[in-house]
Structure 1
């Protein structure tokens, strides 16, 4: 992985779906049932208010964030960073980008859902997100186990 200052953030689209799915496959452990399918992403991406932010090291996609805005509330739908790029600030860059784009689109409140126990919770808490709800047995893991989803939120300006 290259230095963080060599990471380029840009907006993506449906044309980037194959690369996004490679990052998703690398990032989400199938045991937990969190990853989205290509048809799920493809169906959502062209909808109004949806945007895709990409983190690239050269031409290599190392992370992405998929988000949407409805009225004055923005939701982070997915955030993924390749395993080789984790712990180097790429997730923070994408989370910052989410907040920035959400603000330019008129958001006042930010939301996301994350599997209870996902290490990314630490990133979100450091960014000011707090638990506002819980969906019991939301994720269905491949091993038959179910996992809760935590709903986190924060005002855009904190």
Structure 2
């Protein structure tokens, strides 16, 4: 086998990680789509019950994160981001699997997520067992006012 295997390290995150989360979002999300959250939005979400944050590192550098919340038997992946330099190295898959595992540990039966149409992450979600269950026309607004559809995906966890 040739090539280098990169091991993604995962850890539980918290409010102390918001500066890193903001930097990762700035690197990961194209500003023309307006998908990145502010630090205040992330802090507000982290203060709610049932919310968890997972941070991914490669070679001791934080390169990605996933933020999710659960209520009852359902959970939602709110954000998942990987720095461009760390993409195609298994980071996003490791983060998504960590969210799925934590949701299962919390007794969740279905995990939802929403993604902008045309987002390259759709291949990952489909590979990990998510199926498209809905669509919201013109849901996202980009920096220049353009509208983008939102696609909703779900995965049964039981």
**TM-score, normalising length: structure 1:** 0.95
| CA deviation after TM superposition for structure 1 residue 4, in Å | 2.3
Structure 2: state its 5+ residue gaps. none
Output the CA distance in 1 between the equivalents of 2:75 and 2:39. Answer: 22
Give the Cα separation in 2 of the matches to 1:55 and 1:156. 23
Per-residue deviation, 1:3: 4.2
- Structure 1: state its 5+ residue gaps: none
1:4 is the counterpart of 2:6: yes
Indicate whether 1:115 and 2:116 are aligned: yes
Q: What is the alpha-carbon root mean square deviation over aligned residues? A: 1.1
CA distance in 2, matches of 1:106, 1:93: 20
Q: 1: distance between equivalents of 2:42 and 2:132?
A: 26
Residue equivalent to 1:16: 17
C-alpha deviation, 1:143, in angstroms: 2.2
Q: What aligned pairs does 1:53-68 form with structure 2 within 5 A after superposition?
A: 53-68=54-69
Give the Cα–Cα distance (whole angstroms) in 2 for the partners of residues 14 and 73 of structure 1: 24
> Could you tell me how far apart the structure 2 residues matched to 1:33 and 1:20 are?
16
Any idea what the Cα deviations from partners look like across 1:50-90, whole Å, max 9, x if unmatched? 00001012431100000000000111000000000001110
**Whole-angstrom distance in 1 between the partners of 2:110 and 2:30:** 29
Q: Which residue of 2 aligns with 1:96?
A: 97
| Structure 1 stretches of 4+ moved >6 Å | none
Q: 1:75-154 residue pairs with structure 2 within 5 A? A: 75-154=76-155
CA deviation map 1:82-103 (0-9, x unaligned) = 0000011100000000000000
The 2-side partners of 1:154 and 1:104 are apart by 15
* Secondary structure in 2 matching 1:147: strand
What is the aligned residue count?
155
